[in-house]
Structure formats: structure tokens, C-alpha cells
């Protein structure tokens, strides 16, 4: 199963002070090694936004280019809007990017790897699969 890795996991892995024993970072390494990573352009943008120096930006950008963007279709954006509306009716709030991630994952049968607890709440209203570093799914 392919896995869309959310910005929260990438940020954890890219921190200089991340402990090597962190389960999320180890799971990300395994997913990379096994070729199971799915990158979305909106996640790439979030990862690269706020990088302080031009040199650091270029280095990170070049490393991330190893992961080509999944091409999103009109149906992904339409489904993202539907998911946003479904969650809103149930009192759940999220960003457009979060719902685009959910839609892309749902439309392709991918799991989402995130440390953002909002995605756990979204599962109350919408059918998404979350990847857990402990179980692998």
C-alpha cells in the first residue's frame, strides 16, 4: 500500500534534534526504502515554506525531488470539497490542504501518515486510512 506522508511527519524527520529512535522517523525511512512514499505538491510546498536560508531551501528542494508529485485530477479537488462539507456538517474543521490529502488518499486507496490529530477526528465523518508506524497500516 502506498502512503501519503503529511508535512507533520516530514517536519519531524527533518528536525536536527530528532531522536534516532523516534518511531515515526524510522517508519518514514522504511517507507522511503521500500518505495512506498506518495508526495503531493501541496505537501511539498508546506515543507519548503518557511525555510530560512536560500541554501537550505535549495538543498531540501533537491532532496525532495526524489519524490515526484502525484498528479491530482479534477475529481480530487471535487472530493476534497465534499469531504470538507461532510466534516463541517458534523462540526469538524480542517484546512483545504488537509481535505485535499484525504481526497487524494481516498481516491487512490492510499493511507495517510501524519502526526496531526485532526486526521483522527476526520475519520469520524469520512472514510480514510491512516498509517501507523507501529502496525504499518
> Is the distance from CB of 18 to CB of 48 less than 8 angstroms?
no
Q: How many CB atoms within 10 Å of residue 24? A: 20
Q: Which residue has the higher pLDDT, 19 or 115?
A: 115
On whether residue 118 sits in a domain, the answer given is yes
Alpha-carbon span 116 to 34, nearest angstrom: 23
Q: Please give the grid coordinates belonging to residue 8.
A: 507533520
pTM: 0.93
Per-residue pLDDT of 60-93, as tens digits, reads 999 999 999 999 999 999 999 999 999 999 999 9
Alpha-carbon span 21 to 68, nearest angstrom: 28
Check pLDDT > 60 for residue 18.
no
On whether residue 136 sits in a domain, the answer given is no
Per-residue pLDDT of 120-136, as tens digits, reads 999 999 999 999 987 65
Q: Please give the grid coordinates belonging to residue 57.
A: 531551501
| Number of structural domains the chain divides into | 1
Give me the CATH number covering residue 24: 3.40.50.1010
On whether residue 135 sits in a domain, the answer given is no
Amino acid at each position: 500500500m502506498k502512503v501519503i506522508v503529511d508535512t507533520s511527519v516530514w517536519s519531524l524527520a527533518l528536525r536536527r534534534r530528532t531522536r534516532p529512535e523516534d518511531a515515526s522517523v524510522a517508519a518514514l525511512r522504511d517507507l522511503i526504502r521500500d518505495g512506498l512514499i506518495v508526495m503531493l505538491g501541496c505537501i511539498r510546498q508546506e515543507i519548503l515554506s518557511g525555510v530560512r536560508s536560500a541554501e537550505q531551501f535549495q538543498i531540501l528542494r533537491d532532496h525532495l525531488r526524489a519524490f515526484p508529485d502525484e498528479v491530482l485530477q479534477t475529481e480530487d479537488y471535487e472530493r476534497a470539497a465534499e469531504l470538507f462539507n461532510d466534516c463541517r456538517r458534523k462540526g469538524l474543521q480542517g484546512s483545504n490542504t488537509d481535505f485535499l490529502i484525504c481526497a487524494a488518499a481516498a481516491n487512490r486507496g492510499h493511507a495517510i501518515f501524519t502526526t496531526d490529530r485532526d486526521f483522527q477526528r476526520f475519520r469520524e465523518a469520512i472514510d480514510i486510512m491512516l498509517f501507523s508506524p507501529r502496525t504499518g497500516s
